[in-house]
Amino acid sequence: MVEAPHHGYWFVLLCLIGALLMGIVPHEGWLTWGRPDWVLLVCAFWLLALPDRFGLMTCWFIGLTQDVLTGAVLGQHAFSLVVIAYIFQVSYQRLRMFGLNRQAGLIALLCLFRVLVDQWAQSINGLNEASWWVFLPVLTTALLWLVLRPVLRRFQYVFEVS
């Protein structure tokens, strides 16, 4: 009997669940404002690492799950993640060639897009935040990419995710 190849997809699922949980863990003080966008980071990594297996539908489902977990407008996170996934799928070969710092800059721009979509959806519902602190996750997410990408890359190799 031939054994199926080990692809380590359980690790991808574990990363996504961990990112969703990190997004709802309560923080106090300035950490509430500076919470990195864990879902964006994990989805961006897997969109670059597995462009043929991790795509629009996966990001849409993850976004809807994030909407339900955070109590956001249904489709808000799904929309922004699908747009980001489309950007990655159209240009993943070029994005893979970027250095780590340049990728962090791209992550910052994509996080800014998610913050703006979030603020737009909240303003439609009359829940708009009138503070510049809402942009702090752009910085923390970009800085965390510098650490998280090499760590996830190593685990991808260790768990043979392909």
Taking only the tens place, the pLDDT of each residue in 3-40 is 555 578 899 999 999 999 999 998 787 677 889 999 99
The H or E element containing residue 80 is helix 76-97
Residue 8 region by backbone torsions, left for phi larger than 0, else alpha for psi between -120 and 50, else beta: left
pLDDT number for residue 125: 81
Taking only the tens place, the pLDDT of each residue in 111-149 is 999 999 988 888 888 777 678 888 999 999 999 999 999
- Tokens found for residue 49: 């690492």
> Residue 1's pLDDT band (boundaries 50, 70, 90)?
very low
Mean pLDDT of the chain: 91
